[in-house]
Structure 1
Amino acid sequence: MHPAIQAVLTVGVAVIVSIGYFYLSNVFLDRVLFPARGPNAGRNINRANLIRPWLFLFPAFAALGLYLAYPVVETIRLSLTDRVAGGAYVWAGTDNYAQMLGDPKFWEALRNNFFWLLIVPAASTAFGLIIAQLTDRLAWGNIAKSLIFMPMAISFVGASVIFKLVYDYRPAGEEQIGILNAVYLALGGDAPQAWLTIPWVNSLLLMVVLIWIQTGFAMVILSAALRGIPEETIEAAIVDGANPWQIFFKIKVPQIMPTIMVVWTTITIVVLKIFDIVFAMTNGQWGTQVLANYMYDKLFRANDWGVGSASAMVIMLLVLPILVWNVRTARKEMR
């Protein structure tokens, strides 16, 4: 079957099943379980109205349970067991965690994730804020914003392929197709460099890819926040003699600080789960390992489900507090 036809049929069946579920569940509720007739009609109507919202929420709860809660519980179980011959599992307790903590590659991944957290969210948010401010008053600002936002439409793997060509290395004497090496040689460099194999430099170059993608996201959100600042506060600052730098840092930035923090934490969660860029560009070699790629290596290359699940739990524990804080902050802003 052609993929397009299969997609249309899937959507069609899903819509029909959804409509059928809601219609039949309401019929069962109103006519069978709590019929609105007889001496208890009023009480039955009230009971049906109490249950009805849960009928609408049930599909969402079922999906969340199947695709979120169950994988978490299963990951916890796998992290505490060892797989033996025949596919059976035996209790291992904290042995997998101890093995993971004794692996130098895990600490390399944790250290690299820490540096990603220090650099990427701060740089993406700062660049997004600066671009939002600079393009806010320009006639062609929307065109500039569209161009800067474009990388958000590219997958992480697609962006990695683009930048892999930018960092491409050819031996000395051959024509360099990598922009970075071409610029490096034009500026007087001795020989082309295999940038992705140079420790620390390669991690920074990988971070550039994510910054390039996430800057557009930060710019759009912060641009909307800047436009929401009351003009009266800016006009009052101008009347008081404030210069543009003071207006930006002392008037605008404090007023949009909650939005800045939401953007920063959202990008932080993306960074904690970063996998695609590292996998596509270096596969964790040359000192670029990160937690998600370490988890993938253990699960699907080493077939070590215990240690792989333990590293997945580490990622979840790192993401969870930031996610909770982000949700609470967003709810406060909506009040």
Structure 2
Amino acid sequence: MEFDFIEEKDKFIMLGWGLFAFVLVVGGLLLLLDVVPSWFARRREAQIVAAYASGAPLPRRRKPREGMFALFFLMPTLLLLTVGLIVPAIRTTLLSFMDGNSNEWVGLRNYGWMFSEDSIVRVLINTLVWVLLVPLVATSFGLLYAVMVDKARFEAVAKSLIFMPMAISFVGASIIWKFVYAYRGDGQEQIGLLNQIVVSLGGEPKQWLLDSPLNTLLLIVIMIWIQAGFAMVVLSAAIKAIPADIVEAARLDGVSPWQMFWQITMPSIRPALIVVVVTLSIATLKVFDIVRTSTNGNYETSVIANEMYNQAFRYGENGQGSALAVFLFILVIPIVIYQIRNIRQQREG
């Protein structure tokens, strides 16, 4: 027992020294990136001052090698991306073609299991429902808030209240909403807001998070509640950036508020809308905390990220968990490509 304690203690000591070394390396690189350019700038300034004082011609400015200069600043980021992203991604891809113990190659069997197992097909359908509903509904509510609150008397207060859920973690928001959906038996005092409303209207309390597919929709409500504030802030900023002369010209032409919204506001904020939808789509594909905290993925509410965790860490099926992770990565790629193309078109335009 004592030996085990000492061994665990040594592990913590090694971990502490490793973190300390990491902080030293990163801090040294950041200091180097700050000191070296400053030193060159001061040296250049001193040369110019000396040349003016002596009447000599100004020293010719040497053009830096742009590629090497950019690489110098990108090296820390590239190193961290390689260690924390590229290497794990390659390893996960390789594991997805192996069995649960990572001992034998099984080819595409894990991917075939993903689309043939009924429980996993349900997981894929749930993820699709999340991706379809959350970006659409959250963006719609955010746009509605932005239009209604714009130039209102208490605009700052209203925006703060709407944005407040963004300050809460997904786990905290899930706990809050679990109290909203809480259930107690007939004849008992209901502590859940939703069941209390139902009982007040003469209905019977219900275990909301046990019935599929209603429970999935109720979990989606949590995500929408959190992300609507983000959509509202981005779209409100885009609305305020519309040139005043365009708005004034439209009003002089006698357009109605509805025409103003569809003919002026919507085309003007289209880039911001795309950014919001893309951001929410990627965040929704990765959703894990809400499902894990609310239902633990039970009662047919699991999504890809949650099932990936279950397969790899709970059931010891590394191959199947890795296959789900790779599939999740593949789903994100088209969204990222679309966003890159959209940014390039905006720059060319």
Aligned twin of 1:80: 97
Aligned counterpart in structure 2 of residue 18 of structure 1, from 16, 30, 50: 30
Q: Confirm or deny: 8 A CA contact 1:82 1:89 kept in the other structure.
A: yes
Aligned twin of 2:71: 54
Mapped to 2, the partners of 1:26 and 1:216 lie a distance apart of: 40
- Residue 309 (1) aligns with residue 322 (2): yes
Mapped to 1, the partners of 2:30 and 2:208 lie a distance apart of: 52
> TM-score normalised to the size of structure 1?
0.85
- Residue 181 (1) aligns with residue 195 (2): yes
- Residue 323 (1) aligns with residue 336 (2): yes
- Aligned-pair CA distance for 1:15: 2.3
> TM-score normalised to the size of structure 2?
0.82
- Aligned-pair CA distance for 1:18: 3.3
- Within a 5 Å distance, the mapping from 1:11-160 to structure 2 comes to 14-20=26-32, 51-84=68-101, 89-160=103-174
In the superposition, relative to structure 1, how do residues 52 and 251 fare at CA in structure 2: closer, same or farther (>3 Å)? closer
**1:241 is paired with a residue of what secondary structure?**
coil
Q: Which amino acid aligns with 1:91?
A: W
Aligned twin of 2:234: 221
Mapped to 1, the partners of 2:292 and 2:229 lie a distance apart of: 23
- Residue 169 (1) aligns with residue 186 (2): no
Q: Confirm or deny: 8 A CA contact 1:164 1:281 kept in the other structure.
A: yes
In the superposition, relative to structure 1, how do residues 154 and 255 fare at CA in structure 2: closer, same or farther (>3 Å)? same
Aligned twin of 1:195: 208
Mapped to 2, the partners of 1:184 and 1:203 lie a distance apart of: 20
Aligned twin of 2:54: none
Mapped to 2, the partners of 1:145 and 1:202 lie a distance apart of: 29
How many residues in Structure 1 have an aligned counterpart in Structure 2?
Answer: 309
Aligned twin of 2:308: 295
Aligned counterpart in structure 2 of residue 264 of structure 1, from 264, 274, 277: 277
- Aligned-pair CA distance for 1:25: 12
In the superposition, relative to structure 1, how do residues 47 and 219 fare at CA in structure 2: closer, same or farther (>3 Å)? closer
Q: Which amino acid aligns with 2:314?
A: R
- Which deviations, in whole Å up to 9, do the C-alpha atoms of 1:225-247 show, x marking residues without a partner? 00011122222222222111111
Q: Which amino acid aligns with 1:242?
A: V
Mapped to 2, the partners of 1:131 and 1:21 lie a distance apart of: 43
Q: Confirm or deny: 8 A CA contact 2:29 2:76 kept in the other structure.
A: no
Q: Confirm or deny: 8 A CA contact 1:125 1:215 kept in the other structure.
A: yes
Mapped to 2, the partners of 1:47 and 1:140 lie a distance apart of: 52
In the superposition, relative to structure 1, how do residues 104 and 135 fare at CA in structure 2: closer, same or farther (>3 Å)? same
Mapped to 2, the partners of 1:47 and 1:250 lie a distance apart of: 48
In the superposition, relative to structure 1, how do residues 148 and 69 fare at CA in structure 2: closer, same or farther (>3 Å)? same
Aligned counterpart in structure 1 of residue 219 of structure 2, from 206, 209, 213: 206
- Aligned-pair CA distance for 1:124: 0.5
Mapped to 2, the partners of 1:15 and 1:83 lie a distance apart of: 40
Q: Confirm or deny: 8 A CA contact 2:181 2:209 kept in the other structure.
A: yes
**1:82 is paired with a residue of what secondary structure?**
coil
- Which deviations, in whole Å up to 9, do the C-alpha atoms of 1:205-260 show, x marking residues without a partner? 10110000000000000000000111222222222221111111221112111211
- Residue 240 (1) aligns with residue 257 (2): no
Q: Tell me the C-alpha RMSD between the 2 structures.
A: 2.6
Aligned twin of 1:36: none
Q: Confirm or deny: 8 A CA contact 1:101 1:107 kept in the other structure.
A: yes
